[in-house]
Amino acid sequence: MFKTINADLAIIKERDPAARGLLEILLCYPGFQALSLHRISHSLWKYHLPLLPRLLSQITRALTGIEIHPGARIGKGVFIDHGMGVVIGETTEIGNRCLLYQGVTLGGTGKESGKRHPTLAENVVIGAGAKVLGAIKIGANTRIGAGSVVVRDVEANSTVVGIPGRVVHQSGAKINPLAHSALPDAEANVIRNLMERIDQLENQMRALHNSLTDVKEGRMPQDILSGEAQNLKDKEIIEFIGDNS
């Protein structure tokens, strides 16, 4: 347990420039406090004690604003930044070096028994207010944007945004876990592509109308320009909205 707590301290020093000393982290970081108390309650939970682990988790919730069920399994070097409003369900599994911001929910869906909460691989980053729901798997090095709602499995090295969460980028490139301002605006890109498609179709219809008018009046019709190819942009739109056909 002490090695795990040392890893939790080290990740805070690595990722938070505001962390100026060990004593400050111990006294002023509710994410670290919640994780440390959780590791105690989880140890008690594994001994099948009936009440004490849940009682300790509720005390932790009252002190830190972070609710972690004692049954959740959390790896080393996990950082809950600020943490107010974070909820982690009973069958959640969190890999090493994951980063959770305030308001994150790792929750279940329905009343089914057994595994019903998410599994996060290593180095997953979940932005403020994001919800990851159900017994789904989030691959290593994945980044989930603030406010997203994820209800399906996500492969490794992905970037997920939106409601419902959609994969908008996937590569093997290493990500900066703090660079949430660099997440792509998928909705804006799709709307822009749709507007360009509408403009293209309107231009084609106008050109066709003019050609028919020329034929009707006995003039030689002008060539109808097809405009810029839209295949790649149409593919981007379909990938975003989903193809249920």
Condensed to tens digits (0 to 9), the pLDDT of residues 71-114 reads 999 999 899 988 899 999 999 999 999 999 999 999 988 777 78
What distance in Å separates the CA atoms of residue 64 and residue 77, rounded to the nearest whole number?
A: 19
Condensed to tens digits (0 to 9), the pLDDT of residues 16-75 reads 888 788 888 888 889 999 999 999 999 999 988 889 999 999 999 999 999 999 999 999
Residue at which a domain ends, from 147, 182, 217: 182
Place of tokens 């028994």: 113
Q: Which helix (H) or strand (E) segment is 31 a member of?
A: helix 30-46
CA distances (Å), origin 115, targets 65, 104, 135, 237: 25, 19, 6, 34
Answer yes or no: do 160 and 198 share one domain: no
Answer yes or no: do 118 and 208 share one domain: no
Query: What is the average per-residue pLDDT within 147-169?
Result: 84
If one counts the domains in the chain, the total is 2
Answer yes or no: do 143 and 174 share one domain: yes
pLDDT of residue 92: 94
pLDDT of residue 183: 59
Residue at which a domain ends, from 143, 159, 182: 182
Answer yes or no: do 42 and 100 share one domain: yes
Answer yes or no: do 159 and 39 share one domain: yes
121's CB contacts (< 8 A; 6+ apart) are 95, 137, 138, 139, 140, 141, 142, 156
pLDDT of residue 6: 81
Sheet of strand 125-126: strand arrangement: 79-80, 99-100, 125-126, 143-144, 158-161, 166-170
What distance in Å separates the CA atoms of residue 88 and residue 63, rounded to the nearest whole number?
A: 16
Answer yes or no: do 117 and 224 share one domain: no
Answer yes or no: do 26 and 106 share one domain: yes
pLDDT of residue 62: 94
Q: Please check the confidence at residue 154 and state whether its pLDDT lies above 60.
A: yes
No. of helices (H) and no. of strands (E), the chain:
6, 15
Confidence of residue 245 (pLDDT cuts 50, 70, 90): very low
Answer yes or no: do 190 and 218 share one domain: yes
Residue at which a domain ends, from 161, 182, 203: 182
Q: What domain range includes position 86?
A: 2-182
Q: Best-predicted range by mean pLDDT among 7-16, 142-151, 186-195?
A: 142-151
Strand ranges (E), the chain: 67-68, 73-74, 79-80, 87-88, 93-94, 99-100, 105-107, 119-120, 125-126, 131-133, 137-138, 143-144, 149-150, 158-161, 166-170
pLDDT of residue 91: 92
Answer yes or no: do 190 and 96 share one domain: no
Answer yes or no: do 209 and 143 share one domain: no
The candidate with the shortest Cα–Cα distance to 3, out of 107, 75, 89, is 75
Answer yes or no: do 68 and 155 share one domain: yes
Structure tokens at 242: 């989903």
Can you give the CATH number for the domain in which 37 is found?
2.160.10.10
Condensed to tens digits (0 to 9), the pLDDT of residues 160-218 reads 888 877 777 666 555 555 555 555 566 666 677 777 777 778 877 888 888 888 777 77
Answer yes or no: do 40 and 80 share one domain: yes
pLDDT of residue 167: 77
